[in-house]
Amino acid sequence: MSSRRDAPRWVVYSCGKTNEHLPGMNMSSNAMRIPSVDALLRDESAAPLIDTYGRRAVTDAIREDLTMLRTGAGGFDSDSISILGRVEGLLEDSAAPSLKRVFNLTGTVIHTNLGRAPLPEVAADAMHEAAMGAVNLEYDLDKGRRGDRDAHLEDLICELTGAEAATVVNNNAAAVLLTLSALARRREVPVSRGELIEIGGSFRMPDIMKSAGVKLVEVGTTNRTHAKDYEGAMSARTAMIMKVHMANYRIEGFTAEVEEKTLADIAHRHGVPFVVDLGSGTLTDFERLGLPHEPTPMQALATGADIVTFSGDKLLGGPQAGIICGRKDLVAKIRKNPMKRALRLGKVSIAGLSAVLSLYRDPDRLEQRLPVLRLLTRDAVEIEAQARRLMRPVLDALGGAFSVQVVACQSQVGSGALPVEQLPSWGLALTPSSGGRGKVLDRLAAKLRGLPKPVIGRIADGALLLDLRCLAPGDEQEFVEQLLSGDKGET
Ligand SMILES: *Cc1c(COP(=O)(O)O)cnc(C)c1O
């Protein structure tokens, strides 16, 4: 009996958990030599750390390191210099923001997971300016009284789309939700079965309709929907006809969809609005830029749409936002809906969106001034030359463990826009010099993701492919320098 009772006590002491409560019981000779927290804080090399990170954070980090030393993880030096060196590392790690710039070499230009459209400098400047102080966000400077935040964007959107009125929310999903909620709550909305899509991040059209309190009436079939299907679905409970732009997939073969003009006519004959969710809305003629055709809000409105919604950060090339424009009475109703308050756009985004929309006033220089268009229209010959320039330094950085080839590849627009079309591009294919491909490539990809400015490529056909379409020539040097300063080889 007694030996059994003794055993657990011995275990408790030896694991050191009770160190601080039982002074002297468990001090190894190593622990005796560990400097105190106070002594470390007074050490001259602690001063710059306290300056940068604050006393509280330095104290916590020292405690963390001392705990590690005392619990004897082993192999660590317990002199002040070593401790404070590790403490600096801890502080650096915990102070680094989680959100950081990366190199998008995935080949997908508008990559939702990588933050979509890069903004032009004029927009970034405007956002910085708005962020730094008070602005007349909802203040009418002429009248000296409360104003409306939409006022900063409405005229510009109307000018560029031909709409009578416009309002803006946090993203296009919010624009759809708000439009449905304001115009169709507790009523029915017919939508083609071919348009009941899921957009990335599990945003499903049927679910959004349910959350808006709208009864979805499915019409037609997945591949074919006819005007008579819509006609048959119209009733006294119908609130609107809604068309969802086929954003992220395409049905090919034996298909039929009803023209927007016809849908608008059916809706108007039944006295209800025709609403179009365009998804990606560009405000410029894509064919003129040598890109595949993309429908625009002005075309949709001219064809008879009463309300059009689209994203701010897809093809438009601006910050995250959702734009709703169209008939004045309907926009007024949407703006008055209480949900608008919950979905409204912040001042920083309004400033950025306003700057981007202003660029559309000069369509001739748009593709030079708007990064998203600059990337989409980048000449394949130029990208190839860049790939040839970068081949050697990348090969040097990888230290012989990989072969590097200049390869032709295909970029995508991304974010559901123009799903089938691909853009001819060039990249570097990194292939392991010896076997073990899968794991070796995964490790290389992880290593590139671990760089100070992470490099994100894609693994395809036994190689790690870095599509260079989105590597701006001005960022090339930074890209190469951080690769070369990393340690070589052992991937
Ligand atoms: C992308 C998209 C949305 C959602 O827009 P967000 O700006 O991502 O919220 C809605 N509808 C369609 C058709 C889309 O393509």
**Ligand 1 center from residue 283 Cα (angstroms):** 16
**Ligand 1 center from residue 323 Cα (angstroms):** 11
**Ligand 1 center from residue 243 Cα (angstroms):** 13
Strand order in the sheet with 241-244: 165-169, 322-326, 307-311, 274-280, 241-244
Task: Clarify whether residues 281 and 197 are in a common domain.
Answer: yes
Task: Clarify whether residues 173 and 290 are in a common domain.
Answer: yes
**Ligand 1 center from residue 324 Cα (angstroms):** 12
Residue with the nearest Cα to atom 5 of ligand 1?
A: 172
Asked if residue 87 is part of any domain, the answer here is: yes
**Ligand 1 center from residue 34 Cα (angstroms):** 58
Q: Look at residues 213, 295, 208 and name the one whose alpha carbon lies nearest to residue 257.
A: 295
Task: Clarify whether residues 79 and 194 are in a common domain.
Answer: no
Which residue range is the domain that position 183 belongs to?
A: 121-369
Q: Are 255 and 223 in contact (CB under 8 A)?
A: yes
Asked if residue 116 is part of any domain, the answer here is: no
DSSP-derived pairing of the beta strands 455-456 and 103-104: parallel
**CB contact set of 317 (below 8 Å; sequence gap of 6+):** 117, 119, 120, 356, 370, 371, 372, 373
The best mutation among 282, 311, 372, 415 to test binding of ligand 1, ranked by most ligand atoms within 8 Å of the C-beta, falls on: 311
Q: What is the pLDDT of residue 163?
A: 98
Q: What is the pLDDT of residue 76?
A: 81
Q: What is the pLDDT of residue 293?
A: 85
**Ligand 1 center from residue 427 Cα (angstroms):** 29
Task: Clarify whether residues 300 and 424 are in a common domain.
Answer: no
**Ligand 1 center from residue 176 Cα (angstroms):** 8
Q: What is the pLDDT of residue 19?
A: 39
Asked if residue 2 is part of any domain, the answer here is: no
Asked if residue 227 is part of any domain, the answer here is: yes
Residue 223 belongs to a domain with what CATH number?
Answer: 3.40.640.10
CA dist 490 to 340, 354, 475, Å?
54, 49, 26
Per-residue tokens: 344:
């409204």
CA dist 348 to 138, 312, 344, 410, Å?
13, 13, 12, 35
Q: What is the pLDDT of residue 98?
A: 94
Q: What is the pLDDT of residue 173?
A: 93
Asked if residue 63 is part of any domain, the answer here is: yes
Q: Is 279 left (phi over 0), alpha (psi -120 to 50) or beta?
A: left
In the predicted model, residues of the chain with pLDDT beneath 70 are 1-32, 73-74, 199-202, 247-252, 416-420, 436, 486-491
Residue with the nearest Cα to atom 13 of ligand 1?
A: 279
DSSP-derived pairing of the beta strands 307-311 and 274-280: parallel
Residue with the nearest Cα to atom 2 of ligand 1?
A: 279
Task: Clarify whether residues 357 and 420 are in a common domain.
Answer: no
Asked if residue 343 is part of any domain, the answer here is: yes
Write down which residue in 319, 341, 369 finishes a domain.
369
Asked if residue 490 is part of any domain, the answer here is: no
Burial letters 10-42, b for 16+ CB under 10 A, else e: eeeeeebeebeeeeeebeeeebeebbeeeebbe
Return the ligand 1 atom nearest residue 320 CA: 7
Number of domain units in the chain? 3
Task: Clarify whether residues 380 and 452 are in a common domain.
Answer: yes
Return the ligand 1 atom nearest residue 416 CA: 15
Return the ligand 1 atom nearest residue 203 CA: 4
Residue 404 belongs to a domain with what CATH number?
Answer: 3.90.1150.180
Residue with the nearest Cα to atom 15 of ligand 1?
A: 279
Q: What is the pLDDT of residue 15?
A: 36
DSSP-derived pairing of the beta strands 458-460 and 241-244: unpaired
Task: Clarify whether residues 353 and 399 are in a common domain.
Answer: no
Q: Which residues line ligand 1 (CB under 6 A)?
A: 171-173, 176, 199, 244-245, 247, 277, 279-280, 311, 322, 416
Asked if residue 157 is part of any domain, the answer here is: yes
Task: Clarify whether residues 365 and 413 are in a common domain.
Answer: no
Q: Which own/partner pairs from 385-393 qualify as long-range (CB within 8 Å, at least 24 positions apart)?
A: 386/426, 386/468, 386/471, 386/473, 386/476, 387/426, 387/427, 387/428, 387/468, 389/476, 390/428, 390/468, 390/476, 390/479, 390/480, 391/428, 393/480, 393/483, 393/484
Helix (H/G/I), strand (E/B), else coil: 40: helix
Write down which residue in 349, 369, 389 finishes a domain.
369
Task: Clarify whether residues 348 and 410 are in a common domain.
Answer: no
Q: Is the entire prediction scored with pTM above 0.85?
A: yes
Task: Clarify whether residues 40 and 157 are in a common domain.
Answer: no
**Ligand 1 center from residue 110 Cα (angstroms):** 13
Residue with the nearest Cα to atom 1 of ligand 1?
A: 279
Query: Which amino acid does the sequence have at 176?
Result: V
Q: Look at residues 228, 255, 231, 261 and name the one whose alpha carbon lies nearest to residue 243.
A: 261
Residue 104 gets which letter from DSSP?
A: E
Write down which residue in 336, 369, 402 finishes a domain.
369
Task: Clarify whether residues 330 and 208 are in a common domain.
Answer: yes
Q: What is the pLDDT of residue 420?
A: 62
Task: Clarify whether residues 307 and 383 are in a common domain.
Answer: no
Residue at token pair 């405007």? 126
**Ligand 1 center from residue 299 Cα (angstroms):** 19
